[in-house]
Structure 1
Amino acid sequence: MLKLDELIQNITQDSDYSRLTLERDKIEYILAKLRDNDSILKWKDKYEKCIKEEHTQRPSISDCRCKNREESERYRLEGNKHFQSKEDHLALYWYNKSICFAPNPSTTSLLALALANRSAVFFKLQKFKECSQDIESALELGYPSELRSKLDKRKSLCNTKLHQNPLTQSSLSSTATPFRSDKLRVHYSKEAGRSYKAANIISKGEIVMIEAPYASILNSKWHYLHCDYCYEEIVAVTPCPLCSSGCYCSSLCRDKAWRLYHWIECHSFEILQQVDDGTRLSLRILLSSSRSEILDICCHKIRAKPHEWLTKGLHKLTDESCFLSFMFSQRIIRWIQDLNVSTDDKILKNDQYQPAFKNLNNIDIALMLVSHIQQLRTNVHAITKLVTISKWRKVVCPEYNDLHHVSQNRQERIALALYLNSSLFNHSCNPNTIVSFTGRDITFKATCNIAKDVDVTHCYGPHINHMTRKERIDVLLKQYYFTCSCDACQSDSNLSNAELYGNALKCKKCDGPVKQTDKDEAFYRCQNCQWLIDSTEVLRKISRCNRLFLRAQKLSEDGNIQAGIATMKECLSDRLQLLHKFNLDLSFTYDSLAKLYAEIGNWKSASTACHKSVKTVQFIYGNNSIEYANELHKLALLYFNGKQINEALATINAAIALFDLHYGSSNTTRKELDDMKCFLLNCL
């Protein structure tokens, strides 16, 4: 059997293909050839059978497709177990899943039971508005009459709390107003293509752009934890009434998602489970397209140009991706044809949900899906959120168990998105803008003063403070097909602090950074005075330090905090002799010692240890980094609890400036810092 990459090479070198001038004709030619490939035909048989079976069992709202009584009950009982163990957030997570899987309320009381159980969690968490709403819904859905007195009492208490403090239920907006600064101008060059330059001086902290995504999709890892539309963390889940896959933070987000994409995703559950997030995003891009955009492609109005992505992207397509484009196109056409068929599903019959491609054929839709898949690799943007790594999240996301920092915040990729205007920012490994997100919307802020006619740049991922030069160049070449030539990558002397010191040992002669320049080298070498250290002896000492660190953690987990502190201090003493003062492992040791001191209420010792860790994070990641902001927030909490008012206020002010830069004044952590500051000022 001919391999796919060999087949595509043969196609693109064929004389008939080389004569084609339209993108549509080129892709149709390729797809026609791919249909004859044996592996494609195997996928065809598999998924056509799946589509046929689903089509004969088309759901309506009363069918509650993908709901599952047994799963719903299992998740509710799991929630009960954690609630009894006083693990409230874990209980909330499982009750939310139970609600998502609960069948139609007319046939079961499971939904009422899950809502009532969740109301108990909300009451403990002092979310009285959500608690009251859950109680009302549970009663309306037939909650057992013999248990009603308990709910009535809880609702009465909720109403009292809400009357006493109505402001506790305020929420943050998850949308921002689209905006592009008039200080940005679009510049074109043959080498860099279209990009942004400063049309005038841009000041540090100034917003240069806010944009909503053209299309986006939640990372499957965060399902049931974040809203499938706005990507904010879910408190009280609002599920799709038809399936268990649509999970939202409100009915407003659920309705918006339905109009944009869920009207068809809801009926394609099994197919969507088989594909990656990028392929699903390509479908959402198609569903977001206007009729004029689609007709431009289908009516041959877009003339073929030597798009570099086309020749470089084609060999990245797998058999599965190619054929799934056909499967999705068949699915779209079938459901659109059935929209006006007699059905109980009144939502689907509404004309406003019929997309622009209603009358297109299979090849039209497959053409667009393949085009989107090819282009996403170099145009997709990750939506990131600051996630708090709490104990319950370590249960839901086991990979967090390997983290040993006191800092419980971490930037996570929550979703993938396509932003049209934002894609014009060129990359720099040391950019002059920083990105933050409000819900789905992206915001660009200047991190320094930008002079007129200077490139306004953004980091595509490989940042100077997080990757070595070689790692950055390799990642950018592999994903974006260019060799980075930014200032941070051009000079050999321009090494980042993370590269020089992040994992360096300490030179006993000059205190400089000692590194192993080659993995096979038998010695570590000082980067300043060239002093050599035998690698065997170094590895033995490092191993001993690691064992002490793990032993200290185990002692603290078993409740023996004092023994844990003593062992961690022994580890710290050894690492101070061995590691450079800006080595991240040394910082983590100070971090962990601060946590242990905090657990016994020794706030002064905790803040002293934490302060030393903060200095390393500042040096490694930079004065404007979010890592530094998170560490300052943690240090401020320690000063606050230790009643060190002056130190706390200075740290809070520095942290607020950074959170304003990254997230703006509406950020939850920023508001917490403001509250702490107000309290401390009243104490003076």
Structure 2
Amino acid sequence: MSAFPKAICGADDLKGRFLEAERSMEPGRVVLEEMPRAAVLQREFRASHCSYCFTSIDKSSETIQCSACGEETFCSSICKSLARNEYHWLECQHKDLLDQLGPEAVLALRLLLADEPDNIKTSERKRAKIEKFDKWPSDFDLVSSLMTHENRRSEKEIGHYRKVARELVQVTSTSSNESWSSIDKDVLFGFVMRHLLQIQCNVHAITALVVDRREMGDHVETQNQVRLALAIYPRASLLNHSCDPNVIVSYERRKLFVRTLKSVSKGDELLHCYGPHCARMRFRERRKALREQYYFDCVCSACSTEEASERELGHRFVDLFVCGRCNGLLKACDDENVGSCSTCKKSFIMKKKFDNYDAAQKIFDAAEVHKENNDFDRALTKYHQCLKIHKSLLHKSSKTLGRTHDSIAEVYANLGLFKKASEHCQASCVTVELIFGEASMELANELLKLAQLYFNSRQAKEALQMARRGLSIFSRYCDNTDERIIELKEMENFLEQIK
């Protein structure tokens, strides 16, 4: 089930099929809504989330468990019935084996069951021809056409998938459902094998915010985004990658939403980031990650621009070094050990800056160890040593500098020193805004943290300002049921009352 209010399918021989804008749109517009063809909740969340719709379940909620396997928890009889009809009728008696095989294997089995026996028996099992559809094909045909990259897999990897496929075929062919047990095992094997290979390149990780509470005098809540479930969305899988995307994907339980991040014109390709983003990773790291998981070399505009810039700046300029005289950015000369200020043109021997940068990284790593061991006083000492070096070396838009401020803020928060934490979180927000932009989700998440810190340190005016800024961004990209929007609205209402 899906809706394409503002997206259509395009195609060419180079990129294959892709999605493009049906008309011009401003940021925050929904261009695609889709329910998954198949989805599976990660095992560690079975007790805290509904196994079918992925709704969060608290201890006071009434839940329904499968009485046979005792492994699946549902928020309602409707979800239990849907799960039973779609896949649990088969999985229930094989839970131990499926847990051993892993969530990707379970997802492949659910894709197979969604294919339905009649489609499998009549299908020619070949990839659909690349074309621009006047009418959207069935989910079965879309999934059948998803890439597997089988010819790029190692023999060891193919051997592993074959072993898993044989196990899943045995589960299916020995079922009491004659519609499935009557299908030729070789045909089943072909479908299962294809789905297993498709998953790596086409799976979507449904994420959710989970609160981690650490008691340290006061209760400090840290919201972490976790991989809640795995799913296949046939139409969303047509989105191609860009390291500087113009759309963003979010989830409301099982449902996927694609919204514009930037203004797009009619006919523009809609581009989604598969993970490696130009604001978080260098292009060489991005290309390596994309090649290893998705089997292509990214040549998006961000990669092309950054590759050209790296040739100009030099490989060792791994961060935004600044001139000690005017704070202009440094770039490499013909000799990469010599830097030149892009503003005042002063030349620098870079060895000392590189050495200090490497030394700061070692100090930061030591601080991280102290933080993980809850030795916050030592962590703070190390972080501040690191911060002093970073401030002398790096521009305020440096991700490294922002990360250091963010880590210091986290430690102060765990010590209950929320005012000090807010000072460093505010500095982190400056960096995030410079990197990602004033309307980015990355900034919205930082503003949420800053609002919480201002609130906890009783800086009501500042908390209200940050709550409103955060809400203005989240409301562009998220539904009103989003937990972050709910929290910020509650904070805004409370602070309005006490003004």
Q: TM-score band, normalised by the shorter chain? A: 0.7 to 0.9
**Structure 1 counterpart of 2:204:** 381
Q: Which amino acid aligns with 1:325?
A: A
Aligned-pair distance for 1:283?
0.8
Aligned to 1:673: 488
The 2-side partners of 1:377 and 1:551 are apart by 36
Aligned to 2:33: 210
Q: Once the two structures are superposed, what CA deviation does each residue of 1:114-145 show, in whole Å capped at 9, x if it has no partner?
A: xxxxxxxxxxxxxxxxxxxxxxxxxxxxxxxx
Match of 1:324 in 2: 164
Contact 1:296 1:302 in 2 (8 A): no
Instruction: Name the counterpart of 2:133.
Output: none
| Alpha-carbon separation, structure 2, partners of 1:202 and 1:425 | 17
Match of 1:284 among 94, 110, 121: 110
CA distance in 2, matches of 1:245, 1:271: 13
1:190 deviates by 1.6
Instruction: Give the residue type in structure 2 aligned to 1:312.
Output: N
Post-superposition Cα deviations, 1:630-673, rounded to whole Å, max 9, x if no partner, equal 21011112223444343222211210122223322111221111
**Quick one: distance in 2 between partners of 1:249 and 1:526?**
62
TM-score (norm 1): 0.60
The answer to whether 1:656 aligns with 2:480 is no
Deviation at 1:290, TM superposition (A): 2.7
For residue 631 of structure 1, what is the aligned residue in structure 2?
A: 446
Cα offset, 1:254, TM superposition: 3.0
> Matches of 2:31 and 2:357 in 1, distance apart?
49
Pair 320,538 (structure 1): closer, same or farther in 2 beyond 3 Å: closer
Distance 1:388 1:527, change over 3 A: farther
Question: Which segments of 5 or more consecutive residues in structure 2 lack a partner in the other structure?
Answer: 131-144
Structure 2 residue matching 1:268: 3-state secondary structure: helix
Is 1:361 aligned with 2:176?
no
Local SS of the residue matching 1:408: strand
Q: Tell me, yes or no, if the aligned pair for 1:506 and 1:514 is still in contact at 8 Å.
A: yes
Matched, 1:271 2:103: no
Question: Closer, same or farther in 2 for the Cα pair 1:501/1:223, shift >3 Å?
Answer: farther
- Does 1:511 find its partner at 2:350? no
After superposition, the Cα gap between the structure-2 partners of 1:420 and 1:305, relative to the gap in structure 1 and judged at 3 Å, is closer
Q: Percent identity?
A: 29
Corresponding residue for residue 441 of structure 1: 255
* Letter paired with 2:56: E
Contact 1:230 1:440 in 2 (8 A): yes
C-alpha deviation, 1:188, in angstroms: 1.9
Q: Does 1:456 align with 2:296?
A: no
Deviations 1:133-170 (A, max 9, x none): xxxxxxxxxxxxxxxxxxxxxxxxxxxxxxxxxxxxxx
Q: What is the RMSD of the two structures over their aligned residues, measured on CA atoms?
A: 3.7
What displacement does 1:284 show?
0.8
Task: Work out which of the residue numbers 287, 292, 296 in structure 2 matches 1:478.
Answer: 292
Matched residue type, 1:282: A
Deviations 1:514-571 (A, max 9, x none): 7999xxx9958567455213345554455456556766886865xxx7x976776565
Asked if residue 295 in structure 1 is aligned to residue 121 in structure 2, the reply is yes
Report the Cα distance in structure 2 between the residues aligned to 1:539 and 1:516, rounded to whole angstroms: 18
- 2:170 matched to 1:334? no
User: What does the per-residue CA deviation read over 1:4-24, in whole Å, with 9 as the maximum and x for residues that have no partner?
Assistant: xxxxxxxxxxxxxxxxxxxxx
3-state SS of the aligned residue for 2:151?
helix
Secondary structure, in 3 states, of the residue corresponding to 2:175?
helix
Give the aligned partner of residue 437 of structure 2: 622
Structure 1 distance, partners of 2:42, 2:447, is 29
Q: Residue type of the partner of 2:101?
A: V
Partner of 1:312: 151
Q: Determine the structure 1 residue equivalent to 2:351.
A: 533
Q: How far off its partner does 1:274 sit?
A: 3.2
| Structure 1 unmatched runs, 5+ | 1-176, 337-353, 393-405
Alpha-carbon contact 1:213-1:418 (below 8 Å) kept: yes
Letter in 2 for 1:333: S
The residue identity in structure 2 corresponding to 1:246 is E
Tell me which protein shows more helix as a share of its residues: 1
Cα deviation per residue 1:440-487 (whole Å; 9 max; x = unaligned)? Answer: 111011112211111122222222122221222233333333332321
Distance in 1 (alpha carbons) for counterparts of 2:233 and 2:368: 44
Q: Is 1:258 aligned to residue 81 of structure 2?
A: no
Q: Are the aligned partners of 2:30 and 2:259 in contact in 1 as well (CA < 8 Å)?
A: yes
Q: 1:682 and 2:492 equivalent?
A: no
The corresponding residue for 1:159 is none
Asked if 1:229 corresponds to 2:58, the answer is no
Matched to 2:455, the amino acid is F
Higher strand share: 2
List per-residue Cα deviations over 1:398-450 (Å, max 9, x = no partner): xxxxxxxx982333322221111212222222111111001111101111221
Identify the structure with bigger relative contact order (alpha carbons < 8 Å, sequence gap 6+): 2
SS of 2:180's equivalent in the other structure is coil
1-structure distance, mates of 2:459, 2:317: 31
Change (3 A) 1:516 1:270: farther
After superposition, the Cα gap between the structure-2 partners of 1:252 and 1:494, relative to the gap in structure 1 and judged at 3 Å, is: farther
SS in 1 for 2:187: helix
CA distance in 1, matches of 2:68, 2:331: 58
- Return the letter of the residue paired with 1:613: S
Change (3 A) 1:509 1:389: farther
- Report the Cα offset of residue 505 of structure 1: 5.0
Alignment length (residue pairs): 465
2:3 aligned residue (158, 171, 179):
179
Equivalent of 2:232 in 418, 421, 424: 418
